[in-house]
Amino acid sequence: MPTVNSIYGLFPGPHAAERGMNALRAAGVAPDKLIVMSPEPFEEYGFAQADRPKWMPWLAVLGGVIGGTGGFTLAWYTQTAYSYPLVTGGMPIVAPWPTGIITYELTMLGAILTTILTLLIGARLPNWKPKLYDPAVSKGKILIGVLDPPDQARADLETRLRGAGAEQVKTTGRSAAS
């Protein structure tokens, strides 16, 4: 059940959704109050723009460095800390080529695991009880709306959403119950 105060429209396609978003912006809705949910990424449209996560690759690199350092340390420490008489025929105990392979694999593993973590944290997942959602999004509709709209502005927002082409306009939260 939605637990937030909101008003939103369900649009049949990206062009209508774009009009809906422009209508809300024209009504003076603050950007942090706008809500968008779509069944696919509509990158070409203004309504689907959000902050681009440019830092994600750098975090992956950092994860790779940590993983690689861990891999090298594992190979180096475990071969040298326990000085049982390992006969290597004069060859180095910590051989650079094989150690490089372990380091490489764990570098990549570190980058992969960091990417998963940054995705989950960045996309705020898991969140099994979202405050607002409409299953119509799965049917191809695009949800454009406003969080915590002032009561006196609801009628105007509804008119604007319908005027932009919203098939349905819904309200949630206190005002919806009253």
Partner 1 sequence: MAQKTPEQINDDLLRPLSGVSARYLIIMACLVAVVIAAAFAFGWQVYNGIGVAGLRRPVFWGFYITNFVFWIGLSHAGTLISAILRLANATWRRPVTRCAEVITVFALCIGATFPIIHLGRPWLAFWLAPYPSERGIWPNFRSPLLWDFFAINTYLTGSVTFLLLPMIPDFALIRDRSSGWKKKIYTVLALGWIGTPRQWHRLEKAMQIMAVAIIPVAVSVHSIVSWDFAMAPVPMWHSTIFAPYFVAGAIFSGIAALILAMALLRKFLHLEEYLLPIHFENLGKLLLVMSLLWVYFVFAERLTSWYGNESSEMAVFWMTQRGSFSPLFWTMVTCNFLIPFPLLAIKKFRTITGTAIASFTVVIGMWLERFLIIVPSLSRKYMPYAWVTSPYRPTWVEITITAGTFAALGLLYMLFSKAVPIISIWELKWGRHEETVRDPVLARRDEEAMA
Positions that interact with partner 1 (CB under 8 A): 12-16, 35-42, 44, 47-53, 56-57, 60, 71, 74-75, 78-79, 82, 84, 95, 98-99, 101-102, 104-106, 108-109, 111-113, 115-116, 118-120, 122-130, 132-133, 135, 137-140, 165
**In the complex, least distance from residue 108 CB atom to partner 1, rounded to whole angstroms:** 5
Q: Residue 152 Cβ, how far from partner 1 at the closest point, in Å?
A: 27
The partner residues of 144 in beta bridges, in order of sequence, read: 9, 36
Under 8 Å between Cβ of 11 and 20: yes
Query: How far is the C-alpha of 17 from the C-alpha of 41, rounded, in Å?
Result: 13
Cα–Cα dist 161/20, whole Å:
5
Question: Which C-beta is closer to partner 1: that of 57 or that of 156?
Answer: 57
Taking the complex as a whole, the smallest distance from the CB of residue 171 to partner 1 amounts, in Å, to 18
Give the nearer residue to partner 1 in terms of CB position, either 88 or 178: 88
For helices 154-164 and 14-26, the axis angle rounded to 10 degrees is 150
CB atoms within 10 A of CB 60: 20
